[in-house]
Amino acid sequence: MKVLESTPERYDRGIGLLSRGRIQQVYDRIAELAAGPGRQVLDLGCGTGAVAVACAARGARATGLDRDAGMLEVARARPVPRGGGSLRWIQASAAELEDHFGPDSLDAVVSCLAMSELSLDEQRYALKTIATCLVPGGDLVLADEVVPTERWRRVAHRLARAPLAALRADPDHDPGRGRSAGSGSQGRLHRAVRGLPRRRHLPHPARPKARVSTFLADLRDLVLRALPHRAPTGLVRLGDPGRASPVLLTGNFTLTVGRLRRTLRGRDAWLLCADSRGINVWCAAGGGHLTHHDVISVLRTSGIGEQVDHHELVLPQLAATGVERPAITDATGWQTRWGPAHMEDLPAFLDRGAHSRRSDRVVRFPARERAEMASMWALPMVLLSTPLVGWLAGWPLALAAAVAVLCTVFGLFLALPWVPVVGGRRWLSYAAFALPSIGLGAGLLLLLAATSTPHLLGLGGLVLVAVGVLSLDLAGTTPWYGSTINTFHNQAKVELVSERCTGAADCVLVCPRDVLVMDGHAHKVTIARPEQCIQCGACIVQCPTDALRFRYQDGRVAEAPTVRSTRMNMLGRRTVAVKGTVRRGSDGPDQGAPGA
């Protein structure tokens, strides 16, 4: 159901269509089995809260728990139903149940279409915790996807799920792995825990993949890197690590995990793959898809504590926009530190005893990475448009347009250090590369003897469309500029409230553009290079005294608690709430972020 979860406001409508309108009957049946006047009921993986609401309507004191901030935002908007029950909502992962519920504190635990979304490690951990939290004779009610046993139904099931599976690209997901759904006592629950397969983490690659297959896999991920591509979560063995080996964390974006393996080849380390929903670390953390909840979950469920004698975790620096280190330490006892911004710097970082340098913290964007990002924009446009143009207007035009689009996009990205791509002057940059590319395409048409007026007009129109697509947010796909969409008509800048600053310098350690520096004489942080700020918010999230904040062009202010407890959506509005771990310390009024 990950595709539906990407748009929480449409989840209920989508699941209703997929279930042909029968999902509400499932919700009501779960509530009938678990709820009752005064019963304490937990809806694990509550999503938009439909099951919790159904339980509250039967008089239960229902709690909905989910790690997805967007889904909980929809759930909180639901009215409390009549029936004498109550509702509350908690943002947390399944591995954080023990932080909110004690032994024998729940009469029933329900879960609908959530257990199959967890890894095997998470399933085992959650079920063991549930067994502790349920009162003797308490009920566990699970409703989830299953694979039909009849052959023809199984084939139909696979065919129906094929489009979603292609989008998911999650090799660790199999709805058929879940055990039977139903209700039962703690005894039955313990048998369900024992019935789960043994955890499959600690993969130890005996031989590297063939170079050709690795190249094709990387090419697929490069071209489709805008789409989530999920690697298995959990604990991965790099080399032959021992009990003193370093523990590193990353998201489960397949391209990142593969490259990290190759970067650290020949070294011994433990790698924790947290659930970033198949998105790269920086984007996932900024969008609320990788938070400290996900780090806590993988620390508890992966079994890493059984493998090492220390409790020190290296976090990717670019996760600082969404991961709060104090929350991890408070929940797990693990001490954390930031690693370098680029994985290429990890070997030297580890050789220095996990100590970073100033150069490690600043993001680079070399020609190779610029070419990769250009391929993300250009190749999908070419692959989608070329067959259609060839069918409608002939293959000479399709070939010429493909060459022109590739030259425009790759030329712009390779020239990024020298041409403007933000502000009004960006249109001159687009024109400077689009016009010669159109000329190159026209020359190709001439060689193919297809230089008719319709073909030339079509060539110009297709390049213009490609430039229009690129202009949507070319800047936001670079590490040098803030997103055009997120700052459209309302620029933001980071503001320092000097009297709150204590010189902790946490913000300096996570700034990817070297905007902030420490003034040793004043024992204060200063904003030394404001023109380089990309408004990622990492410094604001990590400041322990809330001395930094966003000030927008229209005069509104987003204080640190707002930045820390929300995430920016694609329209530049802070509407996705992240509740539960906001630190105190701001003494100034929070006037709200634009669009909030």
Residue 337 and residue 243 share a domain: yes
Residues 6+ apart with CB under 8 A from 13: none
Neighbours of 582 (CB within 10 A): 18
Whether 201 is covered by a domain: the verdict is: no
261-293 b/e with 16+ CB inside 10 Å = b?
Answer: beebeebebbbbbbbbbbbbbbbbbbbbbbbbb
Helix-strand-coil split of the chain, %, nearest 5? 45, 15, 40
Residue 446 and residue 529 share a domain: no
Flag the least confident range among 157-166, 384-393, 463-472.
157-166
Residue 189 is predicted with a pLDDT of: 45
Closest alpha carbon to 122 in 143, 158, 92? 92
Residue 206 is predicted with a pLDDT of: 38
Residue 140 and residue 100 share a domain: yes
- Domain boundary at 315, 332, 359, which? 359
pLDDT at position 39 over 90: yes
Residue 15 and residue 132 share a domain: yes
Residue 167 and residue 140 share a domain: yes
Residues 6+ apart with CB under 8 A from 254: 169, 217, 221, 229, 230, 231, 278
Whether 140 is covered by a domain: the verdict is: yes
**Tens digit of each residue's pLDDT (9 = 90 or more) over 358-386:** 899 999 999 999 999 999 999 999 999 99
pTM: 0.83
Q: How far apart are the first and last CA of the chain?
A: 27
**Tens digit of each residue's pLDDT (9 = 90 or more) over 527-576:** 999 999 988 899 999 999 999 999 888 888 888 888 887 665 544 454 44
Residue 109 and residue 256 share a domain: no
Residue 129 and residue 64 share a domain: yes
Residue 546 and residue 397 share a domain: no
Average pLDDT, stretch 46-59? 94
Local confidence band at 583 (pLDDT 50, 70, 90 cut-offs): very low
Q: How far is CA 133 from the centre of its chain?
A: 30
**Tens digit of each residue's pLDDT (9 = 90 or more) over 315-337:** 999 999 999 999 999 999 999 99
Whether 9 is covered by a domain: the verdict is: yes
Residue 205 is predicted with a pLDDT of: 41
pLDDT at position 219 over 60: yes
Whether 261 is covered by a domain: the verdict is: yes
Write the CATH number for 259: 3.40.50.11600
pLDDT at position 120 over 90: no
Residue 568 is predicted with a pLDDT of: 56
Residue 147 is predicted with a pLDDT of: 72
Domain count, the chain: 4
Residue 233 is predicted with a pLDDT of: 93
Write the CATH number for 8: 3.40.50.150
Residue 177 is predicted with a pLDDT of: 40
Take residue 370 and report the two structure tokens written for it: 């610029």
Residue 447 is predicted with a pLDDT of: 93
Residues in the chain: 596
Express as a percent the part of the chain with pLDDT over 90. Answer: 59
Whether 430 is covered by a domain: the verdict is: yes
Whether 593 is covered by a domain: the verdict is: no
Whether 202 is covered by a domain: the verdict is: no
Q: How far is CA 75 from the centre of its chain?
A: 20
Residue 193 is predicted with a pLDDT of: 42
Confirm if 141 and 108 have CB atoms less than 8 A apart. yes
Residue 218 and residue 156 share a domain: no
**Tens digit of each residue's pLDDT (9 = 90 or more) over 188-217:** 443 344 444 444 444 444 344 445 566 677
Residue 59 and residue 179 share a domain: yes
**Tens digit of each residue's pLDDT (9 = 90 or more) over 147-164:** 777 778 777 766 766 555
Torsion of CA 178, 182, 185, 189, to 10 degrees: 0
- Domain boundary at 477, 500, 517, which? 477
Domain ranges, residue 119? 2-195
Residue 22 sits at φ, ψ, to 5 deg, of -95, -5
Strand, coil or helix: 235: strand
Residue 160 and residue 44 share a domain: yes
Residue 65 and residue 164 share a domain: yes
Average pLDDT, stretch 281-302? 92
Q: What Å distances lie between residue 477 and 195, 307, 472, CA to CA?
A: 45, 38, 10
**Tens digit of each residue's pLDDT (9 = 90 or more) over 472-519:** 889 888 999 887 766 555 678 899 999 999 999 999 999 999 999 998
Confirm if 51 and 15 have CB atoms less than 8 A apart. no
Write the CATH number for 512: 3.30.70.20
Local confidence band at 299 (pLDDT 50, 70, 90 cut-offs): very high
Residue 233 sits at φ, ψ, to 5 deg, of -90, 165
Instruction: Kindly tell me the burial class for residue 368, based on how many C-beta atoms sit within 10 Å of its own C-beta (0-12, 13-18, 19 or more).
Output: exposed
Residue 437 is predicted with a pLDDT of: 95
Residue 563 is predicted with a pLDDT of: 85
Whether 76 is covered by a domain: the verdict is: yes
What sign for the dihedral angle of Cα 446, 452, 457, 461?
Answer: negative
Of 259 and 204, more confident: 259
Neighbours of 164 (CB within 10 A): 13
Flag the least confident range among 15-24, 112-121, 274-283, 479-488.
479-488
- Domain boundary at 311, 330, 359, which? 359
Q: Chain-wide mean pLDDT for the chain?
A: 83
